[in-house]
Amino acid sequence: MGGRGLWRTKSVEQSIADTDEPDTKLRRDLSTWDLIVFGVAVVIGAGIFTLTARTAGDMAGPSVSVAFVFAAVACALAALCYAEFASTVPVAGSAYTFSYATFGEFVAWIIGWDLILELAVGAAAVAKGWSVYLNTVLGYVFGFNPSRSTATVVKLGGLSMDWGALLLVVVLATLLAIGTKLSSRVSAVITGVKVAIVLFVIVLGLFYIKASNYTPFVPASQPAAAGKSGVDATLFSVIAGGSGTSFGAFGLLAGASLVFFAFIGFDIVATTAEETKNPQKSVPRGIFGSLSIVTVLYVAVSLVLVGMVSYHQLATTIKPDGSEDKKTLATAFAVNGVDWAAQIISVGALAGLTTVVMVLMLGQIRIIYAMSRDNLLPKQLAHTGQKQTPVRATVTVAVLVAIVATFFEADKLEEMVNVGTLFAFILVSAGVMVLRKTRPDLKRAFRVPAVPLVPILAIIACVWLMLNLAVLTWLRFIAWMVIGIIVYFAYSRGHSLVGKRQKADAES
């Protein structure tokens, strides 16, 4: 441990030693395959089933596949840095733990606080998407029009309660509390179903592609009045004086920043390092294996989707009740009269989004667990007991996500997840360079090639994507960070376990 006050660091050796504390010990029973399943389980879901159509119809047009490639490149660069850190410091907490070892406690707290927001909003947003698909499936079963009627949302006085999202969160939290290995097995089965559905979409969709739908590949930019302006415009378009963020070059870049949400997941693989049998080898393989699989599937699906229907038919419209009617992957098949395929896709999406919420919740639980073990959050949340699973942290996360998903329009906060994740990627990429200089003696099972070039390129790519997020997203992000700083100085700094250890060492 080094430094004082805000910049005190927690050594890699101390972080690893803390994993053997009996009261907070996690069970090590995950394999490389389990990690790939978790990665694919969380990444294949929101992107394919909900975001692809929306991004094509509202932002990028047929060039949505290029937006996925841009986002994948940024993720791949950051993934290299995550792999080195996770194989060197196989401890729960991911970017939070890595930052504690390199930049010090205050930066670690900021990134941990940031990840809490990222994963909570992400889980809640996808839970809302799951509820939308549940409504669609119920419509098929009971014969009502799901685009005009919503069975999964009920009115309680002035509040709207989404019981579908609530049900999902409760069931998944129960599975996670029982054990990570069980969660992996359930996830593997459901992931197999949704990968089969995705392959079905690609093969069947090929028969309905019309070359004319790919023209223009990058539609002309919409004027500000028809697109977004003010706080809804991207930060880059505001700085550069762009006329709009719908379609055109600005729309493509904004689309890349939005579909980046679809790739969030490989970083969660790093949060499970402490529960992996051989983290030095399994974590890098889990990260790259899952990222490679989903990138190929995303690009293939997006090309098929925009080939089947004109991007105009994928644009978001307004329902009679004033709510937004967001198009999905099933829309393309319904437009082509293949209603039976649309029904299969809806069922597959329901299964697919289930695992996304599960793994996002798992990641947040491990972040809170790691911060609590360091006393930056209440120590009781890190308790594992005989089950060797952090049940208290699981319940806390479940309550938080359930409230947001049940009573708030969390699906409108997807960009909040992106800005938080990109911020974490930047710190992890920078941290690789710092740790190479400060601790060259550490054994690294995986090493990022061409340091410092690759980490610098990762940082540039992430900053670029962050600039293409809406101004309103930045304002919300800054507000959350300000709250986090207040919490740190009011509670965390004084309770810090690293701080107490340093004080005890100084007095002895």
pLDDT in tens, 315-356: 888 767 666 777 877 788 888 988 888 778 878 778 878 888
Most confident of 85-94, 394-403, 465-474: 394-403
What number is the average pLDDT over the span 385-391?
76
Q: Are 251 and 408 in contact (CB under 8 A)?
A: no
Beta-carbon contacts of 35 under 8 Å, excluding residues fewer than 6 positions away, are: 269, 272, 276, 282, 283, 285, 286, 287, 289, 290
Predicted confidence (pLDDT) at residue 145 exceeds the cutoff of 70: no
The pLDDT value recorded for residue 226 is 43
What number is the average pLDDT over the span 136-151?
73
The pLDDT value recorded for residue 35 is 86
What number is the average pLDDT over the span 449-468?
90
What number is the average pLDDT over the span 442-454?
90
Q: Are 35 and 272 in contact (CB under 8 A)?
A: yes
The pLDDT value recorded for residue 265 is 67
Alpha-carbon gap, residue 86 to 37, rounded angstroms: 17
Round the average pLDDT of the chain to a whole number and report it.
83
Predicted confidence (pLDDT) at residue 24 exceeds the cutoff of 80: no
Q: How many CB atoms lie within 10 A of CB 451?
A: 16
Confidence of residue 91 (pLDDT cuts 50, 70, 90): confident
The pLDDT value recorded for residue 182 is 67
Identity of the residue numbered 420: G
Is the pLDDT higher at 102 or at 25?
102
Longest dimension (CA), the chain: 78
The pLDDT value recorded for residue 241 is 66
What number is the average pLDDT over the span 448-460?
94
Closest CA relative to residue 405, chosen from 40, 37, 74, 126: 126
Predicted confidence (pLDDT) at residue 410 exceeds the cutoff of 80: no
Predicted confidence (pLDDT) at residue 31 exceeds the cutoff of 80: yes
CA 105 remoteness from chain centre: 24
Q: How many CB atoms lie within 10 A of CB 447?
A: 14
What number is the average pLDDT over the span 128-148?
77
Give the CA-trace dihedral at 416, 419, 424, 429, to 10 degrees.
160
The pLDDT value recorded for residue 48 is 75
Give the H/E segment covering residue 155: strand 153-156
Fill in the DSSP letter of residue 324.
E
Predicted confidence (pLDDT) at residue 369 exceeds the cutoff of 80: yes
Q: Which tokens go with 258?
A: 């939005």
Closest CA relative to residue 136, chosen from 370, 399, 301, 347: 347
What number is the average pLDDT over the span 83-106?
86
What number is the average pLDDT over the span 484-490?
95
Predicted confidence (pLDDT) at residue 118 exceeds the cutoff of 70: yes
Predicted confidence (pLDDT) at residue 144 exceeds the cutoff of 50: yes
Q: What is the DSSP string of 347-385?
A: HHHHHHHHHHHHHHHHHHHHHHHHHHHTTSS-GGGG--G
Alpha-carbon gap, residue 457 to 79, rounded angstroms: 12
What number is the average pLDDT over the span 153-171?
84
Alpha-carbon gap, residue 450 to 138, rounded angstroms: 52
Beta-carbon contacts of 63 under 8 Å, excluding residues fewer than 6 positions away, are: 217, 218, 252, 255
The pLDDT value recorded for residue 209 is 95
Most confident of 145-154, 193-202, 450-459: 450-459
Q: Which CATH superfamily is domain 5-502 in?
A: Amino acid/polyamine transporter I (1.20.1740.10)
Whole-prediction pTM: 0.81
Q: How far apart are the first and last CA of the chain?
A: 16
Confidence of residue 227 (pLDDT cuts 50, 70, 90): very low
Q: Are 418 and 465 in contact (CB under 8 A)?
A: yes
Alpha-carbon gap, residue 250 to 239, rounded angstroms: 12
Burial class (CB in 10 A: 0-12, 13-18, 19+), 1: middle
Percent of the chain with pLDDT over 90: 24
Residues 371-386: pLDDT tens digits?
999 999 999 998 886 6
